[in-house]
Amino acid sequence: MTATAEHGKGNFSAGPAVLPVDVLEEARENLLSLGDTGIGIMEHSHRGKPFVAVLEEAERSAREVMSIPDDYAVLFLQGGASGQFFQVPMNFLQGGTADYLDTGSWSSKAIKEAKLFGTVNIAASSKDRNHTYIPTESSYTEGSKYTHFTSNNTIFGTQWKSEPEGAKSALVCDASSDICSRPIDVTKYGLIYAGAQKNLGPSGVTLAVIRKDLAESGPSDIPTIMQYRSQIANQSCYNTCPTFGIFMIGLVFKWIGRQGGLAAVQQHNEAKARVLYDCLDSSDFWNTPVEKDSRSLMNVVWRLPNEDLEKQLISDATAAGFDGLKGHRSVGGLRASIYNAMTQEGVSGLVDFMKEWERTHG
């Protein structure tokens, strides 16, 4: 099948997820020859001039799109967001205490790893109501090393509308599922990290934006590759970096620029999410467990009156070309992931399908 304007219309996968068709076409053109080098993007040495230019361009585009100031480094790492769950405490916890905001499965996994390196204070948690909301009250620790939160909860479908307030230490954010979905003020953070496979590119590369002085504050008696400082000193190429992933992230940042930047992307995301939430709110047939003001613009979750109906809808939707709607195996129900690259037409198509399905099964 060739890429067309229809590409990705029915792909509601939570990740790896739909990518912009322009980006995929550009990638295809460079598979056999990066520019006119005669060598494919995946075949270039990570130390050669052509790839170094790709890397520098990706960083430049990231800085432009996200307004990243010079006192922050842009890193392309490996090990996924899950690797950051331990790299962060390995560098910055060091037997001290860190504040963690527990808003769901990914936060909990980050907490589990942090406990290997020091004390975790759960400054706030939404566990009491099965993570269906974003907590507003927190109790932070005096002298904490950093404050970790998950900006968008991919599995439970909740999202922080803005950064948590009142933290007593540098904010560290797992932004894997809403990075670049809206403008943020990078200077409010010590570190932002995101596995690329939801909003930025293919799996296998992790974007990290880190304040340089924070990076420098880490210990130097941990493995070299685990020190943010050595990744900074080596421009993400302490070892062989994920070259193809970096190339793809660069293309995605360029694409975001062509959309009009993050403010335009946010408007687009709000419009898309509205269409789907309006459908879910329009009838008691659909049940949205998440509190309205905590709803995610990226991962929309809902339930049907019973699990048999849920199974039936997922199976009928799949047959009709709507893929990836099964809720995470830990929570069940349905979930539509509508990341940046999901189009308005894609969401409208799903909503039309759901309305018709409700008419015949409701």
Ligand X SMILES: *Cc1c(COP(=O)(O)O)cnc(C)c1O
Residues of this chain that bind ligand X (CB under 6 A): 15, 80-82, 106, 150, 154, 174, 176-177, 195, 198
Nearer to ligand X, 118 or 204 (CB): 204
Cis (ω within 30 of 0) for the bond into 305? no
Q: Using CA atoms, how far apart are residues 18 and 337, in angstroms rounded to an integer? A: 9
**Catalytic residue selected from 9, 106, 160, 302:** 106
Closer to ligand X by CB, 190 or 195: give it. Answer: 195
Helix, strand or coil, per DSSP, at residue 149: strand
User: Which tokens in the block code for residue 242?
Assistant: 């994920």
Give the Å distances, CA to CA, from 275 to 65, 327, 350.
26, 19, 10
Burial track 41-63 (b if 16+ CB lie within 10 A, e otherwise): beebebeeeebeebbebbbebbb
221 included as an active-site residue: no
| Exposed / middle / buried, residue 2 (Cβ in 10 Å: 0-12, 13-18, 19+) | exposed
Asked if residues 87 and 218 have their Cβ atoms less than 8 Å apart, the reply is no
Give the nearer residue to ligand X in terms of CB position, either 15 or 218: 15
Comparing CA positions, the residue from 337, 243, 301, 179 lying closest to residue 31 is 243
10/195 with CB nearer ligand X: 195
Least distance CB 105 / ligand X (angstroms): 8
For ligand X, the closer of residues 80 and 190 by Cβ is 80
Catalytic site residue 160?
A: no
The one catalytic residue in 99, 102, 145, 198 is 198
**Element (H or E) spanning 99, and its range?**
strand 97-102
Which residues are known to be catalytic? Answer: 106, 174, 198
